[in-house]
Amino acid sequence: MPSLRGGDLTLLLCGCFLLLPLLSHGADMPLGSSLTPGNSSPWLSPNSTFSLAFGPSPASPSLSVASVSYAGGVPIWSAGAGAAVDSGGSLRLSSTGDLQLVNGSGAVLWSSNTANQGVTAAALQESGNLLLKNSSGGAVWQSFDHPTDTVVMSQTFSSGLNLTSGDYLFTLDRGSGNLTLRWARRGAATITYFNRGYNASFTANRTLSSPALTMQTNGIVSITDGTLATPVVVAYSSNYGESGDMMRFVRLDADGNFRAYSAARGSGTAAEQWSAVADQCQVFGYCGNMGVCGYNGTAPVCGCPSQNFQPSNPANPREGCTRKVDLASCPGNSTMLELDNTQFLTYTPEINTEQFFVGITACRLNCLSGTSCVASTALADGSGLCFLKVSTFVSAYQSASLPSTSFVKVCFPGVPNPPVGGAGSSSSSRNSGLRSWVVVLVVLGVVSGLVLAEWVLWWVLCRNSPKYGAASAQYALLEYASGAPVQFSYRELQRSTKGFKEKLGAGGFGAVYRGVLANRTVVAVKQLEGIEQGEKQFRMEVATISSTHHLNLVRLIGFCSEGRHRLLVYEFMKNGSLDSFLFSHGGDANASKPTMPWSTRFAVAVGTARGITYLHEECRDCIVHCDIKPENILLDEHHNAKVSDFGLAKLINPKDHRHRTLTSVRGTRGYLAPEWLANLPITVKSDVYSYGMVLLETIGGRRNFDIADDTDRKKFSVWAYEEYERGNVAGIIDRRLAGDADMAQVERALQVSFWCIQEQPSQRPTMGKVVQMLEGVMELERPPPPKSSDSFLTATTATSGVSSSMASTFASSSAPAPPVPSPNLEQEIAVGRSASARHREIASLPLRSSEPYMTM
């Protein structure tokens, strides 16, 4: 039947001929063309890499959005920034040359505003650019100049343009080229929650003329500018350099983060390769108004501050929370409910208007009494900062590692969320029996719950898996992202320290080694000894230590707990410990460190005092350090002081006799407070004593117990007070400073040190007062002699017939060891100090009292 076959062929050819203009492969769309939802053919780029068509709106599937999409269906641009039309709507190129998005009602929702500008046709280019061109082919309008939320390869995003997504806005700052993310809800103040230049060498110093952001085909996000010879790298995609048939792009996502992606042709999905905001919970408004952002271990989750709130939309926790009872109609009083480890996010411009320097109690009360205040946050990072939230939209972040306490105003009574590991999720509960509302218990429950959950998860996932290394590395990354300490495997640490080769030092808790992590971060790895503690308890202590953040405290990066191995990974301090600067002339053969100028010494003293103040007064669980000494004061490359080894004492096995003492306190001779030996309670004031000795050494440049001819064969600390009484301050100061010191400051520091080393703990100032005294904020009285005649210590030591000078009781190589009440301790102390400047550490124990001991 040849005729029939011929007819078929004709029909087929006919069909093809008819279809061709409809499919419009790269062909120009003439004036009058239009696209409709439903089944009209898409406009395609020449090789069909991109298409323009209507698709279902993400917000409501019954409506449609006109988008340019990459092959497979990843949208990169949409008409009217995603405005949705009903089934009667269309996208049409009018006879005047205006591209319009029209709703079924006939209303024009968006237009390119190009009527009567000579537009003769529209074309979708192979790059994804939608072009309205004139008769000579010039671009009158192009979608690349009017981006919605995405910038693709070969597109240039210049300053002055916006990417928008919901309430979020991304721009490139004109002068600095900084990437800027804002929350800009209509009717509310615009909040800038991210503003960063990615390349320090590039942002440091220059003013750009018209920076532009591009996504290079190799996956590098870069910035170009007329003042720059070559593009500057802003970010590397994690699959940077990989080739293949794919499209790369950056996008402002609906969650307020700015990310780089790659999408394989035809896959219809995009894989994240980089994100600007590492911590999603820091995106303002991510969880809506009054929403609390936290991590469930793998992902950010939204919850409500307390049971006084309910989700605004139970189907979408990101829409925030509303009070069950409005504040204006409280039946009784309103009250401030305390939220631990929670922070109400405060960015510019709020940060400029809402911050005050008050204590935590005042932070609560000021908000309670302020009629427009809805919540407040007290930072516990040593700054004493309080943020009062008066705006109508507040956004919160909760994490065990956040050093801040917040308060939210609710109708009395405040009903806290049940204590579950997680962020303010009110739905789940656990039969833990922890039904007490005692705040400390709640916190404990949350922390231990988290730690336990992590441990169980780790055990289940990684313990017996052959892919243990990779899995744990990935898990570590997640943990890092959520602010918790990173868990390392013993093998990882062995590798990073090259088999524990480069020893940095040895402290009371074990040796410290230099290591380099996989991401090239240099760290100090402490191999703990004498730890027989359970895994759970160890992890709880680690969580506490790592949640203690302060500029003047060494940061714990991670830990390892495998079998009997217990290691802690700290940030590495380039400039070593204070002792090497102060005492470089004595003992040590490798004493090549330069003398520290007075201004640095003073800054180190103040920084150290701030760090200890934070431990004593500002963090939740008060920590008595028990071993303040120059060896434990480390210096970073800018000579910022960082106190190390805090909170470790609890880790030591109490059964280890080397560490067993009267009250199980650790300490180092010469820096031990007198009450330590007198079997009296150890309080924060014991640290003040040790600090005073360190301060004195910082001024004098020698150990407080050094005995020399030029100190009349007296201990330096005793001699120094005598000289001070004689008015000879200049004689006490380190000779190497050679008159290069602010003498008023020296005298003040000297007075503070004598106040600190008072024999009676009640006579010593608190660390907070020490900071104020050093800074000159507080008046200083003349200090009395450190040893008072009617002290408790005289009473105990007098019987021994040892010199009544408290100072000499402590450590002098020539004096006999003082008798002490505890036979255990006596044994320890009787061991004379070695000739080297290092001192034998006697015993150790961490002390954490729930209440600081404050007398002054």
Ligand X SMILES: *[C@@H]1O[C@H](CO)[C@@H](O)[C@H](O)[C@H]1NC(C)=O
Select the residue whose beta carbon is closest to ligand X and give its number: 138
104 vs 349, which CB is nearer to ligand X?
Answer: 104
Any known ligand binding at 685? no
Q: Which residue has the tokens 């009217």?
A: 80
List the beta bridge partners of residue 387: 355, 377
Give me the active site residues, please.
627
Least CB distance to ligand X at residue 435 (A): 24
8 A C-beta contact, residue 153 and residue 217:
yes
CB 135 within 8 A of CB 92: no
Cβ of residue 638: shortest distance to ligand X, in angstroms? 6
Sign of CA dihedral 731, 732, 738, 739: negative
Bridge partners (DSSP) of residue 569 are 525, 558
**Measured distance CA(92)–CA(102) in Å, rounded:** 8
Residue 615 C-beta: closest distance to ligand X, Å: 22
Closest CA to 157 of 139, 134, 175, 173: 173
* Smallest separation, CB 411 to ligand X (Å): 10
| CA nearest neighbour of 51 among 24, 32, 12 | 24
Q: Toward ligand X, which CB reaches closer, 80 or 384?
A: 80
Give the nearest distance from C-beta 204 to ligand X in angstroms.
Answer: 4
CB of 798 to ligand X, least distance (A): 40
d(CA 375, CA 279): 22
**Considering only CA atoms, which of 650, 704, 661, 684 is closest in space to residue 821?**
661
C-beta separation of 687 from 624 below 8 A: yes
Residue type, 283: V
With respect to ligand X, which residue has the nearer C-beta, 2 or 38? 38
Q: For 816, which DSSP code?
A: P
Structure token digits, residue 152 = 């693709």
Tell me phi and psi for residue 303, to 5 degrees: -145, -175
Q: Least distance in Å: CB of 257 to ligand X?
A: 15
| Least spacing, CB of residue 2 vs ligand X, in Å | 36
Q: CB nearer to ligand X: give 639 or 764.
A: 639
Shortest spacing between CB 297 and ligand X, in angstroms: 4
Between CA 450 and CA 421 the distance in angstroms is 5
Residue type (1 letter), 562: E
Of the two residues 7 and 104, which places its CB atom closer to ligand X in the complex?
Answer: 104
Cα distances from 726 to residues 54, 521, 600, in angstroms, run: 91, 51, 27
* Structure-token pair, residue 842: 């006697």
Q: Per residue in 357-367, is it b (16+ CB within 10 Å) or e — as a string?
A: ebebeebbebb
Backbone angles phi, psi at 559, to 5 degrees: -155, 170
Largest CA distance in the chain: 131
In the complex, what is the shortest distance from the CB of residue 228 to ligand X, in angstroms, rounded to a whole number? 9
CB 666 within 8 A of CB 842: yes
CA 721 to chain centre: 44
* Contact yes or no for 332/411 (Cβ under 8 A): yes
Residues found near ligand X in the complex (CB under 6 A): 46-47, 83-86, 103-105, 109, 118, 126, 134-136, 138-140, 161-162, 169, 173, 175-176, 178, 184, 195-197, 199, 201-205, 232-233, 296-299, 301, 332-333, 476, 480, 486, 517, 519, 521, 557-558, 574-575, 588-590, 637-639
Alpha carbons 153 and 259: distance in angstroms, whole number: 14
| 573/774 with CB nearer ligand X | 573
337: part of which helix (H) or strand (E)?
A: strand 334-339
3-state secondary structure of 640: coil
Instruction: Give Cα 48 distance to the centre of its chain.
Output: 45
CB closer to ligand X, 155 vs 758? 155
- Closer CB to ligand X, 217 or 800, in the complex: 217
Residue number, 372 or 521, with CB nearest to ligand X: 521
Judged by beta carbon, residue 299 or residue 777, the one nearer ligand X is 299
* 130-134: strand order across its sheet: 29-30, 119-124, 130-134, 139-142
Give the nearer residue to ligand X in terms of CB position, either 202 or 724.
202
Instruction: Provide the CA 255 distance to its chain's centre, in angstroms.
Output: 19
SS3 label, residue 513:
strand
Q: Token pair of 813, please?
A: 């190589």
- What DSSP state is assigned to residue 479? H
> Please, what is the minimum distance in Å from the beta carbon of residue 428 to ligand X?
10
| C-beta closer to ligand X: residue 126 or 562 | 126
How far apart are CB 485 and ligand X at their closest, in Å? 9
* Dihedral sign (CA 775, 777, 781, 786): negative
Buried b (16+ CB within 10 A) or exposed e, 514-550: bbebeeeeebbbbbbbbbebeeeebbbbbbbbbbbbb
Q: How far is residue 84's CA from residue 308's CA, in Å, rounded to a whole number?
A: 36
Q: How far apart are CA 232 and CA 223, in angstroms?
A: 5
Return d(Cα 370, Cα 465) in angstroms, integer: 56
337: nearest Cα among 268, 409, 386: 409
Distances in Å between the alpha carbon of 711 and those of 139, 374, 708?
87, 61, 5
The annotation places the binding site at 526
The annotation places the binding site for ATP at 526
